[in-house]
Structure 1
Amino acid sequence: MAYGSLAWSLSALLGLLLTPSLGLEPPRISFPLESPERPLPLFSQPDIKNTTTLLLSDDGSTLFVGAQDAVLSLDVSQPDVITMKTKMEWKPPPDVLHECTTKGKKETTDCPNFVRVLQPINATHLYACGTFAYNPQDTYMDTDTLTMAKVPRKYNNGRGCCPFNPYQRNTAISVDGELFTATTNDFRGKTPMVSRHLSKDGRPDVSQDTSVTLNEPTFVSSASDTSEGKVYFFFSEVGNEYSFLDEFKVARVAQVCKDDSGGERILQNRWTSFAKAELLCRPPKELPFNIIQDVFTLTPSEGYSTQDIIFYGIFTSQWSVASGQSAVCAFRLGDIKDVFAGNYKIFQNHQWSPRMDKSSNLGKCGLANASDTTLMAVKESFLASGSVRPIGSAPVLNSPDQRYSRIAALRTKAANGQDYTILFLLSESGFLHKAVLLNKDTHIIEEIQVFRQPQLVKNILLSTSKGVLYVGTSEGVTQVPVSQCSSYKSCAQCVLARDPLCGWDPASGHCASVSAIPANARQDVEHGNVMKECQGSLTAKPLLDDHYN
């Protein structure tokens, strides 16, 4: 569907809704909070709040947590318990708190220091940035002791690295010791900025040119492509290339080149490589899901090209804000690169129009010594003409009754050697849905309740090597194993789960991890055919028990 330049009202677009979304089947099994069949280790202390910024150490034994007025290191080396290793308090002093309240902010909910960025900078130190009573501050920390480093800096101005407002979304990623951020850099949260900080090799820090307009963006995620030295940012914003009477939101991906150092006269200390494009997530014959909520980067297996990196994104619609509706679309990095290598639009007279000449420098790296003419073209033309379409040209999951907010994904081999993608989807209501993408549809394997009350700020972090998902909320940090095969007590239950990670072991008479079964694991991910897979095992347990009813 191509939206032209006619000044339509968004409500008129509702007439384009031709086919209602079909609902997913409910989860095969549901585990309420504190279910003995799906035990979830929880770290929680009364004096520690908003444990939502998560970073796992390289060896997987320590989880660093950015919280309210503190940074924590948690011991997660044991599978069934999370314990505190170190806590570093990082509170705004009384005079800074007073200044925050005099500006109209609430001391208990707005003015604490909410740690919003936690990234590795080198082998021994972390970088942290907190809102610090609407006065962002940043620092380096020793990874072993969580003490603030005296060198090179302490309590620096974190403006442009993390937001003033603790409830405003932001994203940050470290690449080779440099920090790339997308956030707002003013008290009111109205000035968006994509920047590079801690720049190396004598390069200056670079940031957004003021003429590059980002319209009320909500930044959700970032990723790097080391093969081409690029960093990608995912966000939603008001799409001013569309001339609707009402504001029309657009999901975006933007790129910058890692080593961009700006221009010589034009775009000094500003990106010469910034470009953005629309991400199109729309079921056939339906309105688009145009607001992106979260993105997970799934890297390909060893030996595959980075072109095959897949970004799984959760999308919602501005037309269904009050309802539980969302979709998941998958985008291939190669397709994103193709759009950025194509044609661009030019911003003139307060509107976008197709660029007539085909400039070969737009969206390219290495423009530090480019001519003024080239850099003026870059300054005027940073919106790609094409839209990035998802794999298969449709969502991989379309739910009319679940509003998902966070996503993680892993790729695994089933017992028959076939590869499957498993999605972990966190709902606004506090349930984690585990879904497997099949050849023709999507199967919800299970749902697990991970928190009680709706959470304004939350986060998830997947460790594929540990087989664990961490969920951070205001209630604490919950550790969720990616599978709990032992919860299926019979061959029938095990096969009906259709979980690529679990199979029935006829030798031991247990449902176990496929990787732990020497051979002949009974499993049917596509169809769950119990009669075929469980011959000789059906008498061990009832075909179904009350847990499924």
Structure 2
Amino acid sequence: MMRYISTMDSKRFPGPTLWKYTTSILIGFLFNTIGPIGCVSDKFLWKANSEVVIQGVGNGVEWFTKNETRPNHYRILLVKDDNVLIAARNYFYNISMISLQENMHSRWDASRIAVTECLMKDKSEEVCQNYIRVIALNDSDLLVCGTNAFKPICRSYEIKRDSYVRRISQNGVGSCPFDPNHNSTALLVDHKLFAATVADTSGRDPLIFRGMIRTEQHDSRWLNEPDFVSTFDYEDKVYFVFREAAVENINCGKAVFSRIARVCKNDEGGKRSLVGTWTSFYKARLNCSIPGEFPFYFNEVVHSTGVLKGNHISSVDKHAASDIFYAIFNTPENSIPASAICAFSMGDVNKTFKSRFKGQESSVHNWLAVHEKETPVPHPEGCQSNSKNIPDQTLNFIKSHPLMNDAVPSLGHQPILVNGGFNYRFTRIAVHQQYLAVDGRYYDILFIGTNDGHVLKVINIEQNGKMRSIVIEELLVFKDKSMIVGLEVYHKFGLEKLIVVSGDDVVSIPLHRCHIKVTCRECVALQDPYCSWLDGKCSAFSSRREISRIQNIRVGFHAMCEEEEMNGFFHNEIPRMPESSSNDDNNNNNNKKNSKINKGYRRLSTSRGGNRNEIEAPDPKFGQTLDNVASAQMIPTSIFIGSLVLVFLFAGVLGFIIGFKVSTCRTPGECESPLDDPKANLHHHHHHHHHRQDTDHYYAKPDNIVPTKYNNVWDCNPRGNKVPNTSTDFRSVNNYTNVRGKTYL
């Protein structure tokens, strides 16, 4: 479950290592207990191919710094062409994404009257400032809204060549929150501002607002304690992503679900019913869960991208890309800490909004799917040219049934990447979609920010009929472990960079660090679509004509690297593993045992000076084997046994608590969730395995760099003696530890 398990100092410091390993096993055990993961469990055991620490400037790293007193409370609010507009406390900045230099800025302090009234209400001086929360570009005008010490106000600015000139001011209630801690989002569409925020100082009147049209007030069926995350427009509708307390789950206690809601761009409200209220507001659950007989849900969405042309798995077909968006989901703060990335298709979103509604007969009844006979005809999902013409009967149905019965399934019906552990949670995501690599495949390259200053670079591929994620890099961008609150990918004019924003800093870093890999083997093992080996160096792929470039993203190994490196060494300089035993009988036994577990490796032959050398290399046909081998490291026996003991103790206590909780819950009929309806359920994968107690074996990869532990499991089926045998020997390693270090830039 942890990112990686280091055993470098296990003998010297057994305590911390024991606890770290115990925590890792325990979290994995809990996930498997609460929701069977099956073949998805490897998503919890990932380790980045490369770890890099960003420091200072140079090598493409640039920082935007100001002299204002911290904290700055930076936040990305608008990206336009080659510029990014960043909001702060009492300031907003226009920054060039090319040079990361300031184009212009404007200072906007809260009014003295507002600050005085704010302080009189026992608010802190910190919140009685003007926090910019809305920036929208309207032709040549810029609309900016701020909290103004709990008196929201909006201003219109005229954009001059080197400055912003204030024009008019207007009330910002409904467009901007009162409290800077309230989550809100806004988008300008067709010269109209669509905002999702709160309309009072306490935050108890949430609304989705445009002009004089809003959501129904004080109706928990519409919005129930929401935290708004993002908004985007698609076709003739505007979509809002948020999380809220689920009214349909109230019979089994309070729970937070993730939602996607939509309204029509041209909605003007009803004529007699729903006057001044949306007639096209519907919402549905976003389902990001690990499938199984009892799915494990990541219920709290924290960020999402806009709609982009992409594919959640790599493909050789450019036309396989469709309209999708990615989102980050977390578990609740008081539960097992974990984060997940899921992708959703707009086709599935539209299909969900055209399906059945969910409702309850009365306040004491469960929420169930509304019968099709009770649904208005035609289905009210479509946008009307004039909402004033919608019949009152349909409007009354819309008012009482804003929730859809079906959930929007994630692509692949499982997360792309899961992080479980106490190290960090995911906070932001940006995507370089459909990047064409040397291998002729198109990749969506994900950049994922965390709450402790890290950025992960991830791609997703299909292997053996299953999704598999490759974590290419783990970058420590902010050494003070600041939360990442903004990510933007920039790639124009031959420039490729990632803009990373924390509360106090803005930094741009290259999208790749190919140059730090000095050998062909290291370059290919990085599995980075940007990087390939050519002419003795690892560099970014710049020309489609360079067909001689060496790259293998799916496996991370290429036979040509071995040939190149053999040409650079004499026979006696080839790295070799130490002989494990001098006893012939022991060697014979080892050979017999190792011959059972050698599937996925082939023997390569190279020659120099008349000498013929043979080395072992992973066969590309068995990329899954290499991935599994590289996903774990050697653990001392004492640590392993001690960890298992602690895990079983924790599991016993947890089992008692869960059993007691389940026994005290209501009858199954009273605890229906939004996915209880058979037609609403997603595809759940059942894996019933009867694993044998096989002995764990330790092996080293052919490059003699990273020792690995490999269990006798092949594609989630027991292996044992059923492993196909070949004539290749697989060298066993008894005592060998060597942990890869970090690269500092």
Give the structure-1-normalised TM-score: 0.87
Structure 2 residue identity aligned to 1:127: L
Q: Does 1:382 align with 2:402?
A: yes
Superposition pairs for residues 42-61 of structure 1, below 5 Å?
A: 42-47=63-68, 49-58=72-81, 60=82
Against the structure 1 CA distance between its residues 84 and 435, is the aligned structure 2 distance closer, same or farther, given a 3 Å change threshold? same
Superposition pairs for residues 50-449 of structure 1, below 5 Å?
A: 50-58=73-81, 60=82, 62-78=83-99, 82-107=100-125, 109-122=126-139, 124-144=140-160, 145-150=162-167, 153-154=168-169, 156-197=170-211, 205-210=212-217, 211=219, 213-226=222-235, 229-285=236-292, 286-300=295-309, 308-318=322-332, 321=334, 324-350=337-363, 352-356=367-371, 357-359=374-376, 360-366=378-384, 367-401=387-421, 402-411=424-433, 412-439=435-462, 440-449=467-476
- Deviation sequence 1:348-370 (CA, Å, 0-9, x none): 53363432313233332113311
**Partner of 2:694 in structure 1?**
none
Question: What displacement does 1:244 show?
Answer: 3.7
8 Å CA contact 2:57, 2:63 repeated in 1: no
Alpha-carbon distance in structure 1 between the residues aligned to 2:335 and 2:349: 31
Q: Does 1:24 align with 2:45?
A: yes
Against the structure 1 CA distance between its residues 538 and 142, is the aligned structure 2 distance closer, same or farther, given a 3 Å change threshold? farther
Question: What displacement does 1:394 show?
Answer: 0.9
Root mean square deviation, CA, Å: 2.9
Alpha-carbon distance in structure 2 between the residues aligned to 1:324 and 1:243: 23
- Deviation sequence 1:6-42 (CA, Å, 0-9, x none): xxxxxxx997434595423221112223067865211
SS of residue in 2 equivalent to 1:243 = helix
Structure 2 residue identity aligned to 1:512: S
**Partner of 2:512 in structure 1?**
483
SS of residue in 2 equivalent to 1:297 = coil
Question: What displacement does 1:116 show?
Answer: 1.3
Question: What displacement does 1:188 show?
Answer: 0.8
8 Å CA contact 1:171, 1:183 repeated in 2: yes
Q: Does 1:500 align with 2:529?
A: yes
Alpha-carbon distance in structure 1 between the residues aligned to 2:155 and 2:204: 24
8 Å CA contact 1:53, 1:67 repeated in 2: no
Alpha-carbon distance in structure 1 between the residues aligned to 2:565 and 2:152: 61
- Deviation sequence 1:134-189 (CA, Å, 0-9, x none): 11111122344442442xx22x2111112111122111122222211111121011
SS of residue in 2 equivalent to 1:336 = helix
Question: What displacement does 1:299 show?
Answer: 1.5
Alpha-carbon distance in structure 2 between the residues aligned to 1:187 and 1:277: 28
SS of residue in 2 equivalent to 1:337 = helix
Alpha-carbon distance in structure 2 between the residues aligned to 1:196 and 1:538: 67
SS of residue in 2 equivalent to 1:535 = helix
- The range that moved more, 17-26 or 407-416, is 17-26
8 Å CA contact 2:452, 2:483 repeated in 1: no
- The range that moved more, 464-473 or 290-299, is 464-473
8 Å CA contact 1:339, 1:386 repeated in 2: yes
Against the structure 1 CA distance between its residues 252 and 140, is the aligned structure 2 distance closer, same or farther, given a 3 Å change threshold? same
8 Å CA contact 2:234, 2:307 repeated in 1: no
Structure 2 residue identity aligned to 1:459: G
Q: Does 1:450 align with 2:439?
A: no
SS of residue in 2 equivalent to 1:165 = coil
Against the structure 1 CA distance between its residues 249 and 135, is the aligned structure 2 distance closer, same or farther, given a 3 Å change threshold? same
Q: Which has the larger radius of gyration?
A: 2
Against the structure 1 CA distance between its residues 36 and 110, is the aligned structure 2 distance closer, same or farther, given a 3 Å change threshold? closer
Give the structure-2-normalised TM-score: 0.65
Against the structure 1 CA distance between its residues 301 and 246, is the aligned structure 2 distance closer, same or farther, given a 3 Å change threshold? closer
Alpha-carbon distance in structure 2 between the residues aligned to 1:261 and 1:447: 48
Question: What displacement does 1:448 show?
Answer: 1.5
Question: What displacement does 1:297 show?
Answer: 2.7
**Partner of 1:519 in structure 2?**
546
Alpha-carbon distance in structure 1 between the residues aligned to 2:475 and 2:121: 42
Question: What displacement does 1:326 show?
Answer: 0.7
Alpha-carbon distance in structure 2 between the residues aligned to 1:244 and 1:301: 39
8 Å CA contact 1:403, 1:427 repeated in 2: yes
Structure 1 residue identity aligned to 2:342: C
Alpha-carbon distance in structure 2 between the residues aligned to 1:67 and 1:540: 55
Alpha-carbon distance in structure 2 between the residues aligned to 1:540 and 1:53: 49
8 Å CA contact 1:307, 1:332 repeated in 2: no
- Deviation sequence 1:354-395 (CA, Å, 0-9, x none): 323132333321133111111111111111111111111111
Alpha-carbon distance in structure 1 between the residues aligned to 2:446 and 2:348: 21
Against the structure 1 CA distance between its residues 349 and 175, is the aligned structure 2 distance closer, same or farther, given a 3 Å change threshold? same
Structure 1 residue identity aligned to 2:409: R
8 Å CA contact 2:127, 2:180 repeated in 1: yes
Alpha-carbon distance in structure 2 between the residues aligned to 1:304 and 1:340: 28
8 Å CA contact 1:69, 1:115 repeated in 2: yes
**Partner of 1:200 in structure 2?**
none
Question: What displacement does 1:406 show?
Answer: 0.8
Task: Return 5+ residue gaps in structure 1 as ranges.
Answer: 1-12, 198-204
Against the structure 1 CA distance between its residues 369 and 148, is the aligned structure 2 distance closer, same or farther, given a 3 Å change threshold? farther
8 Å CA contact 1:53, 1:116 repeated in 2: no
SS of residue in 2 equivalent to 1:480 = strand
**Partner of 1:8 in structure 2?**
none
Question: What displacement does 1:462 show?
Answer: 2.6
SS of residue in 1 equivalent to 2:522 = helix
Against the structure 1 CA distance between its residues 168 and 140, is the aligned structure 2 distance closer, same or farther, given a 3 Å change threshold? same
Against the structure 1 CA distance between its residues 54 and 370, is the aligned structure 2 distance closer, same or farther, given a 3 Å change threshold? closer
